[in-house]
Amino acid sequence: MAGLTIPTEPIGSIPRPLDLIAAVANGTIADPTLDPLYDTAVRDTIERFEATGSPVITDGEQRKYDNFFTYAVHGLPNTAPDGFQIPFADGHTRRMPRLTSGPFRYQRYADSFLDVALRYAHKPLKQAVISPSALSLMYPANELPGYSRDEFIDDLLRQHETEIRRCLQKGACKVQIDFTEGRLAMKLDPSGFLLHSFIDLNNLALGRFSAAERERIGVHTCPGGDRHSTHSAEVDYALLLPKLFELNVGNFYIAFAREQEPVRVLKIIRQWMKPGHRVFIGVVSPIDARIERPEEICDRVVEAAKYLPADQLGTTDDCGFAPFSDDTSTSRDTAFAKIAARVVGTALAAKLIGGV
């Protein structure tokens, strides 16, 4: 394996600058007068991302209004604020909007963020998008008059497909579907029915893309990460991963750094991954204030290569850093220091593995 390269990619979000967080708190998140602050945040994020040596970067999701979860529908007029609630282990919650009538339409597509990022980037840009399964939670339990769940699903899949196609056409090197609700689904419904329905729904969308396109599409799973807390870390990966690898994508980004039984998780991944899959394991924890050393990241990757084919292995962060726009629990300096450590540690591991 001489000359082995292990790809390494971020998940997406970077903590916003404090002046942007303060400005948003004092006004409207989509206020056009904030555009200069958003633009500065994107430019600074990309410059600092590139300085880490990361071969793939993002815009840090600086302009994703509110969060990675509801950016596409933020401000949608036919919604109410009392939708699906996500409880975190430390007691705080996040809410989704609830759809009140049809039709369902995105307010914005993620390729609009690429429009800005491409002005400044000198390295390949990936773009994260939210999954259809996550947005399906907006539809209420009782059917909406004049707008059936089937009609909603048709609209949802069409909007999701449009978003991914636009990102690929704009030049995103990868499009990553955020599927944080996957592990949460097993917590909410241990029977597995909810997770099964999520997988089926996402595969309906993925079936609209060619095999070549799906090689540029990936899915990210994690137990949530917000204000140093998670929503489903207690759920056994053995309940999620077999179904996860049924998703018809080429790339899997799997939170791993905080797992208490890493070898067991690696064995589960090995059992269920398929030829042609690239598995990016999380080697740094965004919700841990400690900055990992490159040497420990290297050790983690070398250990993973004992169980997973090295030519199908990649590294990533467990989750995004501060995926909600009001999160100040992690600093930008810490986030970029962790990313730099991941890049160096992954390169060290590639040399060791390639020299075996």
Assigned domain for 9 exists: no
Locate tokens 């050790």: which residue? 299
Distance of alpha carbon 196 from alpha carbon 28, whole angstroms: 38
Distance of alpha carbon 347 from alpha carbon 356, whole angstroms: 15
Range of the domain at 308: 18-354
Assigned domain for 131 exists: yes
Assigned domain for 62 exists: yes
Q: Pull the structure tokens for residue 335.
A: 């986030």
**Backbone CA torsion sign across 25, 31, 33, 37:** positive
Assigned domain for 342 exists: yes
Residue 1: is its pLDDT beyond 70? Answer: no
How much is the pLDDT for 73?
94
Per DSSP, what are the bridge partners of residue 278?
A: 251
Q: Pull the structure tokens for residue 85.
A: 């609630």
Distance of alpha carbon 320 from alpha carbon 339, whole angstroms: 11
Q: How many domains does the chain have?
A: 1
Radius of gyration in angstroms for the set of CA atoms belonging to the chain, rounded to a whole number: 19
Helix (H) or strand (E) holding 349: helix 332-354
Closest to 70 measured CA to CA, from 47, 98, 90, 92? 98
Mean pLDDT across the chain, nearest whole number?
Answer: 94
How much is the pLDDT for 2?
56
How much is the pLDDT for 314?
98
What does the pLDDT look like over 152-210, one tens digit per residue? 999 999 999 999 999 999 999 999 999 999 999 999 999 999 999 999 999 999 999 99
pTM, to two decimals: 0.95
Query: What helix, strand, coil percent values describe the chain, rounded to 5?
Result: 40, 15, 45
Assigned domain for 7 exists: no
User: Over 42-111, what HEC string results?
Assistant: HHHHHHHHHHCCCCCECCCCCCCCCECCCCCCCCCCCEECCCCEEECCCCCEEECCEECCCCCCCCCCCH
Task: Summarize the confidence of residues 58-73 as an average pLDDT.
Answer: 88
CATH code, domain with 204: 3.20.20.210
User: Over 107-135, what HEC string results?
Assistant: CCCCHHHHHHHCCCCCCCEEEEEECHHHH
What does the pLDDT look like over 315-356, one tens digit per residue? 999 999 988 878 888 899 999 999 999 999 999 999 999 875
Asked if residues 316 and 8 have their Cβ atoms less than 8 Å apart, the reply is yes
What does the pLDDT look like over 72-120, one tens digit per residue? 999 899 999 999 998 898 888 888 999 999 999 999 999 999 999 999 9
Assigned domain for 72 exists: yes
Q: Pull the structure tokens for residue 104.
A: 């369902």
Assigned domain for 2 exists: no
How much is the pLDDT for 328?
84
Per DSSP, what are the bridge partners of residue 251?
A: 218, 278
Assigned domain for 190 exists: yes
Residue 70: is its pLDDT beyond 70? Answer: yes
How much is the pLDDT for 51?
98
How much is the pLDDT for 325?
76
